[in-house]
C-alpha cells in the first residue's frame, strides 16, 4: 500500500488534498511570498500542512534568495477600531 503523503486533518480528521498554494513567510523583518507551493489542504476546515521537504526547500530559498519572479505592491493599513 502506498503511503499517503498527508495524514488526515489534525483538527477534523478528514481527507487532506494536495494543492499548489501561495505561502507568505516573514523572515528577518521582510515578507517573502512563494507561489505554487505544494501543500496539503484540509477539504473541510482549510487548514494547511507542509511536508518537511517543502518546509526545508522554503528555508533554503530564504537563506539564499534569488531574483524574485515578480514584486507585489501591498497596501498597508494602520489598525483602527471601527467598533462603536
Gap between the Cα atoms of 38 and 49, Å rounded: 9
12 binds Zn ion per the rule CB under 5 A: yes
State the nearest-atom distance from the C-beta of 6 to Zn ion, in Å: 11
The burial of 38, by beta-carbon neighbours within 10 Å (0-12 exposed, 13-18 middle, 19 or more buried), is given as: middle
Q: Residues 4, 19, 44, 55: which binds Zn ion (CB under 5 A)?
A: 44
11 binds Zn ion per the rule CB under 5 A: yes
Gap between the Cα atoms of 72 and 48, Å rounded: 23
Q: Which is nearer to Zn ion, 37 or 42 (CB)?
A: 42
Q: Which residues contact Zn ion (rule: CB under 5 A)? A: 9, 11-12, 42, 44-45, 47
Amino acid at each position: 500500500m502506498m503511503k499517503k503523503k498527508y495524514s488526515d486533518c489534525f483538527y477534523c480528521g478528514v481527507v487532506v488534498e494536495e494543492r499548489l498554494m501561495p505561502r507568505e513567510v516573514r523572515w528577518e523583518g521582510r515578507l517573502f511570498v512563494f507561489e505554487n507551493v505544494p501543500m496539503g489542504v484540509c477539504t473541510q476546515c482549510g487548514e494547511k500542512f507542509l511536508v518537511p521537504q517543502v518546509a526545508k526547500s522554503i528555508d533554503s530559498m530564504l537563506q539564499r534568495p534569488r531574483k524574485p519572479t515578480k514584486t507585489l505592491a501591498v497596501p498597508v493599513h494602520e489598525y483602527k477600531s471601527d467598533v462603536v
